[in-house]
Structure 1
């Protein structure tokens, strides 16, 4: 850890006459860009949070709002209409009273005050145009005012599964049978996916275009007025599912720590960008004193602590989406068969404002199940998505508003009863020493089917309500003295088979390593959790390398001999400067996994796979006689040696013939792009040389095509429960989204080196490290 600097220069700013405040608000920004917001009431604290979010992240949250609500064409022109229409299809359109109530009694007022704070900053900007972030000048527009319902209506920024899996599984099943798809995604527990009678799995090539436009990140390309393109949201990432995103968390009981106090660590994984998706903030008012990380466009925080309870999360990959396929009336394609009759799609005509053009009216079509994403008139078919997104209370992470004031572990668990989206593994610890884990989310009951393949929309495949909170697994004060989650398959062995929470789970390697380390000693400390969050040892690599123990190269095969020597002497730690890690990752991602898939699949099937399940591949390679059939071990060893040889030769071409100079970080980079980096490259952060992979706790999965890291931990938090000023954190590249701020990229190098900064909580500790002070005074 770094020693905190004492007494930085204080830049004090006083802003007067802010409409909407009941009393003064003070925003104290510490040396690392973390705002501590002090107010006389919770309402004013949320107002201050909104004001500060706009001050630090205005362009980011304005783009978040426009993209989510389908308002891009208004400022970027007609090329954005298709994306706008797609995004509006996935807005929440239900009862707003039920929506607000789902998040708890204070959610509406907190959000109203938060958006009022954003608008107050926009009002202030009217008189201080020089403070407008430079991105608005580059694109030639001004930020818009917010309404409270803007926050809750947006759904498409959240994580929801498993529509993409359904579609890929259908394509593979249609081409080669359902067993072939197990190479892409093994099912846990094992089962044969339910195939609906009469379903046609030959799906249109462009079926997901509208869904992708609605849900994938925005990427500007070319001229700022040129169309936005979609990031690759459905492409495989070296054996890790890019749609699952990842994350690690754990909580260690006081009986296993050096201080006798629990320690909780959480590092949620998402795609990298400048500014970061996450934002650290502290809200302090009577009855509310919470600090941690959330998203800048949302009120409150999602992981952190409130002085009594610490909390963190990882994705619990529940299945909350289904694709419905309809037979259309040939004489009237707006009608679809339902039961013994026909139903008519609901069509909503909406107006879209368009920059430098007349407003446009576009139709949005819905079936009883959800938005129509594709119509195939030639085959008289329509396709719609049903998702829990359209149920009250499923705005991403807004359920955290219910637990901000929890006074102990029991109140925290009670608050999770209303958690909607995304599915999460929540870990927690309170100052009395209680620790635990609780999975939560809104999952539909599917009587007689499993949600793994598309189903007809004719009434035979309906949801039967949702699983209740008590149907989700949990652990309180485990005998082992800790609990950890890393998105792994963690349903208990006696979990009822008829609860279809999910069958699709990421690789278990990160969890395996976390448990291995936590079991290794009884005197765990904050520094130990920090080292574990940045740990780069790969259990997956250890498993694969063990398969090479008995292989002896032929004397006439110097490339294979050199490759075996290099990896056999390796400790499976994927450090930035490791030659063996460079060879191993090139081997696995570009040679071994594709070769394994070719062995297991019928000819021509592999291009249909958007990823390869690494854990399933390792299991197959470890049991070759059962998985490869006759001469299984010989076939397996030939696959290992031929692909290792070719990988060694490729790394020679990439990094030179002297393997002593190879370094994994020379291939593997982290890039944190700004949306307008193509206009001004100085806005981007990176490339940064990184180690690790998708199977290390310091998660760094990548696209095999270029080895650029795709997802991982931008924010890391480790909390000393009860001695809160000992807690630490880091956010990359920095807290601020304003390129002119000293906190725009000041944490990126610390993050890359595995270093942290203090997450100060007490007013006295904060006051020793003030970098800026902003006073908001009520108007008049």
Structure 2
């Protein structure tokens, strides 16, 4: 679809004019009533310049903070307590050849990124001459936004989604302390595969805090004391849903594509940003991250695309023996090999700079070194290879015109690893996985390995060796981060064994397999569907138990009559979540632990179940409840019946402590809420609290439901789909979107939190594409002109 650059002026729309450097011809930005910018340029690169300028106009503090965190420059503004975090971030920067780096994405990614950064810098320069344009955060904390280099976009890697280092280490520590039988109760591996400790790996040398530096590099910093009422969880579950329907399953006969990425849900401003870039031969709209050029989820008037995590194992922890005579050397094959030592300096605001030392082995950054024990640990990560900056690979596929061009572009996709769904105006649909996948010839990646040369990657799989399908016979395909390798996938082609639980996908399968008249509105409802498959299965098992005097168990009848829909107003839903997460799950796991270890079951349970609330992964418990065998002792039915009788009343008492004695007020949404707060709330003391937080609002669902509302121990939503999109392929103006809390990151902007309430209510707004519809909805007009000085 060729964009129209003919303007129909609406006098009621506010108008601003800005001269910016590097622009070759005037650009118009029309901001619609939902805060979505529609950028109309005369060339592709002017569109990217305008995108960068507009990202800075709407999200300057956020992208400046993102850059500082990624480059390891927080201490310069926030003080010496962030020096270690800055050091960690610098360990995980891309440090390779930038020529190879740029070429790995696409032929013009460097040019597009350069134009994007020129746009950001143009706005930053404007703020220096007119400080009133600065967001509040800079005024309050007394610093200026930095100017960007195009390399910043590619070198920063620590904002991605990474697999499977944390699971690798958690598995190793569990086996180290409790044995492999307990590991089978910690987390399900798929496809099923016996655990095998790699030859030469001494689990006892792995320290509990081996990932402390890695965590500093890959998690956001905290400012001020912990708020007990805020969303909880240091490392949040992050996934997505997507699906695509062919015309045979839609009311219109056109394909529909839906995508709702699941990331942290307590962020203010939000992670995603919707925008529309239009120039001759280039007309793409959808969502991306505000600090990156282009669009990663959306459509271009010919094809639509949407992504979810395909959890490729892209990381390994290497364990080294140090030279006792030189702790900067490690054993590799039959020699001592020197580490690479890089000296650096961290600027510290209000103080002297601090010298730091960065160490690297041939495999990657050293994250832990114990000279006394004679050990060191380094991370090998595919995402530190050229072409692996998260989401930058979308620069190629967002401009593809058909399935073949899309596949060619996906061959360049590196990180994060993804399931991409696809649809086009010719009626074609498809699914293609992508991501740089290491070949491990002699181990499966489930545990750390010695770094002495016995365990080396043998290159990477070609994208043709990863699964996908074009025009499936059933007319639809869906993904939800579950194990979705085909049945005939080669056993020795190790992708990962650490997938997310499959229950969101099961619910999508249940609905889509019966759908023949889908509309964008119905698909938007499915994105907000709160039916819990684990709840339905657990209660089905409870119905078959020999429970005596079931009618006397307070709350049991309500549970057994419940349909499993975790609506915010549901009382049985409230009871189920509190009962299962806090009472039944610990009882069942403790019983299973007692069968395989002589240790204190509660001590073991604290270690293996401490993240289960966050992950919402019921695979282990469902196995124990539905097919316990001998895992729950000699009489599992009797144990489960007694556990139900004991734990449901305990859950009712728990709810009374949480919500009070008035049962008429007991609903799931009264306990399970969503709220968001600015990360600098504790430091922005001169700003009204109402500008630094939003919510709470009641929420349905859980981490098990298609409408993912994962939560931590205090039941506040921690992750989920703040960004949602349904594309009506070919009838583009009928597409629907949502992006909470709002499009703007400026505290006093009308679009800062205006979408939070409609998002929480499951609503969506039209994602307008045609120029005439955009003009009708325009509330602000911005004109960018070439700066002539």
Report the TM-score when normalising by structure 1: 0.95
| Contact 1:193/1:450 (8 A) holds in 2 | no
CA distance in 2, matches of 1:105, 1:522: 41
Picking from 673, 677, 682, the partner of 1:669 is 673
For 1:502, what is the secondary structure of its paired residue?
coil
Aligned to 1:292: 286
For 2:631, what is the secondary structure of its paired residue?
helix
Q: CA deviation at 1:635?
A: 2.0
| Contact 1:287/1:405 (8 A) holds in 2 | no
Picking from 198, 204, 208, the partner of 2:207 is 204
CA distance in 2, matches of 1:626, 1:436: 43
CA distance in 1, matches of 2:222, 2:50: 30
Query: Compared with structure 1, are the counterparts of its residues 315 and 749 closer, same or farther at alpha carbon in structure 2 (3 Å cutoff)?
Result: same
Q: CA deviation at 1:377?
A: 1.8
| Contact 1:303/1:312 (8 A) holds in 2 | yes
| Contact 2:173/2:208 (8 A) holds in 1 | no
CA distance in 2, matches of 1:306, 1:724: 10
Q: CA deviation at 1:296?
A: 0.1
- Structure 1 segments unaligned to the other structure (5+ residues): 1-6, 224-228, 235-241
Aligned to 1:596: 588
Aligned to 1:112: 114
Aligned to 1:14: 17
Q: CA deviation at 1:158?
A: 0.3
| Contact 2:723/2:738 (8 A) holds in 1 | yes
| Contact 1:329/1:337 (8 A) holds in 2 | yes
| Contact 1:184/1:611 (8 A) holds in 2 | no
Picking from 762, 767, 771, the partner of 2:775 is 767
For 1:743, what is the secondary structure of its paired residue?
coil
CA distance in 2, matches of 1:351, 1:230: 35
Cα-to-partner distance string for 1:697-728 (whole Å, 9 max, x where unaligned): 1101111x201111100110001000100101
Matched, 1:608 2:615: no
Cα-to-partner distance string for 1:748-780 (whole Å, 9 max, x where unaligned): 111011111110001111000111010010113
Q: CA deviation at 1:552?
A: 6.2
Aligned to 2:693: 684
Aligned to 1:628: 632
Aligned to 1:237: none
Aligned to 1:162: 164
Aligned to 1:582: 574
Matched, 1:701 2:710: yes
Range with bigger deviation, 86-95 or 625-634: 625-634
For 2:780, what is the secondary structure of its paired residue?
strand
CA distance in 2, matches of 1:566, 1:654: 19
Q: CA deviation at 1:138?
A: 1.8
Q: CA deviation at 1:626?
A: 4.8
Q: Which residues of 2 match residues 407-486 of structure 1 at below 5 A? A: 407-486=401-480
For 1:144, what is the secondary structure of its paired residue?
coil
CA distance in 1, matches of 2:149, 2:61: 17
CA distance in 1, matches of 2:635, 2:350: 68
Q: CA deviation at 1:48?
A: 0.1
For 1:23, what is the secondary structure of its paired residue?
coil
Query: Compared with structure 1, are the counterparts of its residues 381 and 230 closer, same or farther at alpha carbon in structure 2 (3 Å cutoff)?
Result: farther
CA distance in 1, matches of 2:445, 2:263: 25
Aligned to 1:249: 242
| Contact 2:231/2:711 (8 A) holds in 1 | no
| Contact 1:8/1:770 (8 A) holds in 2 | no
Q: CA deviation at 1:231?
A: 8.0
Query: Compared with structure 1, are the counterparts of its residues 595 and 197 closer, same or farther at alpha carbon in structure 2 (3 Å cutoff)?
Result: same
Report the TM-score when normalising by structure 2: 0.94
Q: CA deviation at 1:382?
A: 0.5
CA distance in 1, matches of 2:677, 2:253: 42
For 1:113, what is the secondary structure of its paired residue?
helix
RMSD (Å) for aligned C-alpha atoms: 1.8
Matched, 1:178 2:180: yes
Aligned to 1:3: none
| Contact 1:25/1:38 (8 A) holds in 2 | yes
Q: How many residues were matched structurally?
A: 758
For 1:80, what is the secondary structure of its paired residue?
helix
Range with bigger deviation, 618-627 or 752-761: 618-627
Aligned to 2:5: none
Cα-to-partner distance string for 1:450-493 (whole Å, 9 max, x where unaligned): 11111111111111101110111101111111000011110011
Query: Compared with structure 1, are the counterparts of its residues 38 and 518 closer, same or farther at alpha carbon in structure 2 (3 Å cutoff)?
Result: same
CA distance in 1, matches of 2:41, 2:354: 44
CA distance in 2, matches of 1:470, 1:9: 53
CA distance in 2, matches of 1:258, 1:351: 61
| Contact 1:213/1:230 (8 A) holds in 2 | no
Q: CA deviation at 1:537?
A: 0.9
Picking from 701, 716, 722, the partner of 1:714 is 722
Picking from 281, 295, 298, the partner of 1:304 is 298
Query: Compared with structure 1, are the counterparts of its residues 742 and 9 closer, same or farther at alpha carbon in structure 2 (3 Å cutoff)?
Result: farther
Cα-to-partner distance string for 1:245-292 (whole Å, 9 max, x where unaligned): 111000000011111100000000100201110000000001210000
Cα-to-partner distance string for 1:405-458 (whole Å, 9 max, x where unaligned): 111122112210010001100000000000010111011111110111111111
Query: Compared with structure 1, are the counterparts of its residues 334 and 13 closer, same or farther at alpha carbon in structure 2 (3 Å cutoff)?
Result: same
Aligned to 2:7: none
Q: CA deviation at 1:9?
A: 4.2
Query: Compared with structure 1, are the counterparts of its residues 8 and 618 closer, same or farther at alpha carbon in structure 2 (3 Å cutoff)?
Result: farther
Matched, 1:571 2:563: yes
CA distance in 2, matches of 1:206, 1:459: 25
